[in-house]
Structure 1
Amino acid sequence: MTVTEPTTSGATAPAMKSFPKPSQLPVPEGAEGWEKLYPYNLVFQNLSGAEDEKFWFCDSQHWPTVFKPFETIGGEFAVKCLGQYNTRHLLIPPANGIEFKIHLGYLYMSPVPVPEDQIPARVPEFERRAGHYFQNWNELLDGWRVKVRGTIDEMEALRFEPLPDMVPFDDIVAGVAKDGSEVLMENYDRLIQLCYQNWQYHFEFLNLGYLAYLDFFGFCKEAFPGIPDQAIAKMVQGVDMELFRPDDELKKLATLAVESGLQEAFADTDDVAGTLARIGERDGGAAWLAAYEAAQDPWFNFTVGNGFYGHDKYWLEHQEIPLGYIKDYVRRLDEGQQIMRPVEELTAEKDRIVAEYRDLLDGEALATFDAKRGLAATAYPYVENHNFYIEHWTMGVFWRKVRELGRVFAAAGFWADESDMLYLNRGEVRDAIFDLVTGWAVGSEATGPHYWPAEIERRRKIFEALATQRPQPALNTPPAEITEPFTMMLYGITTEQVQRWLAGDEGGDEGVITGMAASPGVVEGIARVIHSADQLGEVQQDEILVATITAPSWGPIFGRIKATVTDIGGMMSHAAIVCREYGLPAVTGTGSASTTIRTGQRIRVDGGTGRVEILD
């Protein structure tokens, strides 16, 4: 893809390759006017022309599908709060936050660097603030769990109920002098505030977890020239992570089911009530059901998605999902397979690599290595653990409450289904609440039932049209060199990878896709291309998973597959970390694997070199 631009003499000269500008991307048929679905500040307005100049990349790692209007809340809260910790809390020397926009329904990001002349002044304040956290890590993290759980409990206590036909007589006697509608409005506002509160807590430790690893990473690169990135990653692997607890609980339940001879009761796990009833009728069933009930709080507050969408299915509400995973684990145990994560092997490998590199150092350098590795290992688990508390648990409660409010509106005729509320933005929901309570209070019809059904259908058609088109991986001209550490480590957006995206097939080997070497190992197998969590049931034993991105909650699937290939993600992406912890080869950040590879093709994945070969 070579483009040209005029020179001063009127001739043409090759220009730097670039991605399309936002204004150059075609709007899918039927999606005209899509910009009005989202807040004015989230779409490209070309107010200064800068939006057509900055380099933007699509964060399909966290937001792989098109947003419904209400769902932008997750992107807004997450990226804003990430920025505040870089820019205002910690004053990270080289990195401010990340600008973000929605284009054609997908989220695009542009890292905001700190001007070089301002970096030195931030260093002392950053060291003071980060030092406080690193010196008091465990104590502060204990307090963090208390804060987050308190927010979740308060959110759980919120209620959204239809308004009564009349104010209770007891309220008349007590002089309450309110009709209860204020509770509906206050609880909605409070729900949004509590969600925002936990997103602020989310980033209190996360950036520090990455920084501790990046500091160790940088030291290793300097102390051991030529050290592979994967060797550094392995020196902090094999740790106990709370994010793995939901999957571990299912494995324990499967083991108990086999020990109790309950295998036949799992014949049809789509029938949840029938499955649980069959288990209860068998010897040992009561004990198994008690263990199953105990595992649900809190570990079933877990979604097969990533928590950012209202359609994500949570185990607590869709128990056919965990029961189906247990059924598969039972099958594998009966076949004599090992289902536990290979923690001992990972730990032994970690200890071996650490010892090898320690032997190359002595004196002050060795002490520095030990200190930096120890800090990275301490902070590393939070990089994944926060997912359970925020993306899964907090957002699971949040979406449950959103649906509860949606049912109130559906009962009042504002729309047909509780999930239709997702086609309103959060400001419109607040207006709709006042419309609802006004009609109820004055004894007349609200306007909503006459307005929203048709408007929701109009928006639904735009949403469906947007969803027919995959996003561009990036927009505009990339910088000559990408240096922002989070962009590289988390997203896999490196100078080399961006150039590969631009080059496409030019100069590459036919049938070869390259990405980031994220988890070592070489395997061959049949590809299974997955574009959403709803397709996970299609994954067969010993296939190779190919996806835009994997979610941390796909752990139960990792026991079936031989390797993973993703379109986006770096060394510290969820896909890379989870694959290393499960001992699976992985290539991330390919840009195009899920649209190039087809289900059923035989492929070879080399997680040590970042190379994927299509063999068919």
Structure 2
Amino acid sequence: MADRFSSPFDIEAPAGAEGWQNLYSYSAVFSEERRDYEDGGFWFHDGVHWPEALTPWDAGVFEVAIASLGQYNTRHYLVPPAYGVDFRILNGYVFLSPVPAPEADIEGRVPHFMERAGFYFANWDRLYDDWLVKVRCLVQQISELDFSPLPQMEDLEVITSGAGRGSGDRLLSTYHRLLDHVLTLWQYHFEFLNLGYAAYLDFFGFCKAAFPSIPDLAIAKMVAGVDVDLFKPDDHLKSLARLAVSSGVDDRFNGASPKEVWAALATDEQGQAWIAEWDKAAEPWFNFSTGSGFYHSDKIWIQNVEVPLGYITDYIVKVKEGVDLNRPIEALHTERDRVVSEYRELLASDEDRETFDAKLGLSRTVFPYVENHNFYVEHWAHSVIWRKMRELGEVLKAAGFLAETDDVFMFRRSELFDVLFDLYAGWSVGAPSRGPSYWPKEIERRHAVHEMLRGWSPPPALGIPPEVVTEPFTVMLWGITSDSVAAWLSSGEEGEEGVLSGFAASPGLVEGPARVIFSADQISEIQDGEILVAPLTAPSWAPIFGKIKATVTDVGGMMSHAAIVCREYGLPAVTGTAFGTKTIKTGQMLRVDGNTGKVTVLD
């Protein structure tokens, strides 16, 4: 077994992707100037959030996100043992490296963290209510940005109002505001998230100390059965399916196109009433990405109506069969209360029980945010951002700078300032801009490079692994442990043949045929009674949980979205197997043990 992973400096570009570095910010790629630091560290591929090669503009959002994460750890809350998470792009893929706080700084950071985090924990409900107002207001501001084309002639009102500024100023400043809003969005994102994890990890640490043999899954069960906004899109689909059956319009959902279904529904009052309920649910809840939410190319329900319509059609069948579509909340609560009661009784003193109750109560208070942020930021807000960028792409396409609207995402975020100024300058002086003769060919080249990057398979990690992986976020969110690192180093060859190990992410033991998929575009292939095997799952895949028996993912830990969602839907799951999609084939019979984290290939 190797003692280290490949150096990022030894990995070559895929054939045809030479020079890929200029697609991304100069600071985001590995570089000779930082070689000693970068080659001596441990970098893991973040397949939980960014499993595919990034386009240049999407990469800018990634950079803002991770920098904001670090800012709150390092500068706002002063999390004692952890600074931020450093980030790099290699051949288009995201690699992260947690930065520990210097040993000498930890003790001095503790009182600051206790004061700052303590304020948020003591005022959580009020601050979170304020957060919801802030983020909804920000999404509204983004949606109101105006990227209309530059006019042939300014309106007379610009003159008579004494505005003193014109459309070129508006276009350039609006793009500035969009980037400002993206940064603010991610500041809001981490205002609560790191503290939500910290509270759970504090409870987790208490349980591990008090009950040394307690399984991670037992601790997770104690905070299960929460009501979170992330489940509302799926809940609305179920309600719409029930309404279609109860109002007698279910026969119009016959596999036809959305346009044809809507035309059939519009013919009478019952159908029109159903459309009205759809409209009420769609904004904002169907601003839901079929992927992680970090790629402009992911389909959004509200813009790709065939996706939620397909789920509704499946639910209609189940409603007519008398299937209960509700999440098993009562069963989750019963199991939760049983586990809490059993472990609480093992504590030796009233003082320990009071501490246990307080830490558990705080975990349950803050836990909904750990999932809710995912809808408001990665899905809703990002959906609006992608739409606004496409409006800007239309402007550039009409001006001859781009061949296709989505080509706008092939610009780096900072580079787009120069592109828009070129457009503005040509318009302002009545002379040709350089862009139409320069950018279409360059964008075509970038597409070709990006396509080569998409076909590359990133290694799970780079550099020198730590002797022991102890950083709790790395373990619980990304699913990276000392065991998984050892498995990567040995390419998984040292494990038991026919058996994959991962995190016991959601309880239950089932057997069934595998269905291996790699993207949301393959969801329609899933049949009733199959076991889903995927690199990762997205929150918007929840409607298929009524079909499948269990979930197996390559990446993610106990607190990944896949793990949390599977627990809330009562679906057995093993996450972080690393090699699931590489070793399992569709149709093979599997045994998935969500209690032990073992996946066995039976044939």
Partner of 2:396: 409
Q: Secondary structure at the match of 1:527?
A: strand
Partner of 2:375: 388
Q: Secondary structure at the match of 2:414?
A: helix
Q: Does 1:479 align with 2:460?
A: no
* Corresponding residue to 1:297 among 280, 283, 287: 283
Between 80-89 and 522-531, report the one with greater CA deviation: 522-531
Partner of 1:252: 239
Q: Does 1:184 align with 2:171?
A: yes
Maintained 8 Å contact 2:193/2:370: yes
Q: Does 1:428 align with 2:415?
A: yes
What is the distance in 2 between the residues matched to 1:592 and 1:79? 26
What is the distance in 1 between the residues matched to 2:266 and 2:97? 54
Maintained 8 Å contact 1:46/1:52: no
Deviation, structure 1 residue 193: 0.5
What is the distance in 2 between the residues matched to 1:324 and 1:609? 34
Deviations 1:170-228 (A, max 9, x none): 32333334331111111111011011101100001101111111111111111122111
Q: Secondary structure at the match of 2:32?
A: coil
Q: Secondary structure at the match of 1:101?
A: strand
- % same residue: 55
What is the distance in 1 between the residues matched to 2:337 and 2:205? 20
What is the distance in 2 between the residues matched to 1:184 and 1:493? 44
> Which amino acid is 1:329 matched to?
Y
> Which amino acid is 1:26 matched to?
E
> Which amino acid is 1:405 matched to?
L
Maintained 8 Å contact 2:42/2:97: yes
Q: Does 1:232 align with 2:214?
A: no
Deviation, structure 1 residue 518: 0.9
What count of residue pairs does the alignment treat as equivalent? 601
Partner of 2:106: 119
Q: Does 1:194 align with 2:181?
A: yes
What is the distance in 1 between the residues matched to 2:417 and 2:46? 29
Maintained 8 Å contact 2:84/2:99: yes
Partner of 1:565: 552
Deviations 1:360-393 (A, max 9, x none): 2341111111111000011111100001111011
Q: Secondary structure at the match of 1:491?
A: coil
Maintained 8 Å contact 2:43/2:96: yes
Q: For residues 53-68 of structure 1, what are the structure 2 equivalents within 5 Å?
A: 53-68=40-55
Q: Does 1:541 align with 2:528?
A: yes
* Corresponding residue to 1:96 among 74, 77, 83: 83
What is the distance in 1 between the residues matched to 2:185 and 2:492? 43
Q: For residues 83-232 of structure 1, what are the structure 2 equivalents within 5 Å?
A: 83-232=70-219
TM-score under structure 2 length normalisation: 0.98
Maintained 8 Å contact 2:218/2:339: yes
Between 303-312 and 191-200, report the one with greater CA deviation: 303-312
Q: Does 1:577 align with 2:564?
A: yes
Q: Secondary structure at the match of 2:477?
A: helix
Partner of 2:303: 317
Maintained 8 Å contact 2:131/2:188: yes
Partner of 2:515: 528
Partner of 1:20: 6
Partner of 1:340: 326
Partner of 2:489: 502
What is the distance in 2 between the residues matched to 1:428 and 1:136? 42
* Corresponding residue to 1:357 among 332, 343, 350: 343
Deviations 1:76-130 (A, max 9, x none): 1111011011100110010110000000110000000012221111111100011
Q: Secondary structure at the match of 1:158?
A: coil
What is the distance in 1 between the residues matched to 2:505 and 2:158? 63
What is the distance in 2 between the residues matched to 1:596 and 1:40? 37
What is the distance in 2 between the residues matched to 1:374 and 1:115? 32
Maintained 8 Å contact 2:289/2:383: yes
What is the distance in 2 between the residues matched to 1:510 and 1:358? 39
Deviations 1:143-173 (A, max 9, x none): 1111111111111111111111111223233
TM-score under structure 1 length normalisation: 0.95
Q: Secondary structure at the match of 1:22?
A: coil
Partner of 2:27: 41
> Which amino acid is 1:110 matched to?
S
What is the distance in 2 between the residues matched to 1:376 and 1:388? 20
Give structure 2 stretches of 5+ with no counterpart. Answer: none
Deviation, structure 1 residue 283: 5.7
Distance 1:169 1:524, change over 3 A: same
Maintained 8 Å contact 2:492/2:579: no
Maintained 8 Å contact 1:260/1:283: no
Deviation, structure 1 residue 598: 2.0
Maintained 8 Å contact 1:262/1:282: no
Maintained 8 Å contact 1:492/1:569: yes
> Which amino acid is 1:24 matched to?
D
Maintained 8 Å contact 2:487/2:494: no
Deviations 1:247-292 (A, max 9, x none): 00110111111111222111125x2121112123256222212211
Deviation, structure 1 residue 27: 2.1
Maintained 8 Å contact 1:237/1:581: yes
Between 350-359 and 118-127, report the one with greater CA deviation: 350-359
Q: Does 1:330 align with 2:316?
A: yes
Deviations 1:383-408 (A, max 9, x none): 00001111011111111100000000
Maintained 8 Å contact 1:315/1:321: yes
What is the distance in 1 between the residues matched to 2:6 and 2:322? 52
What is the distance in 2 between the residues matched to 1:511 and 1:460? 40
Deviations 1:404-463 (A, max 9, x none): 000000111111111001111012211111111111122222111111111011111110
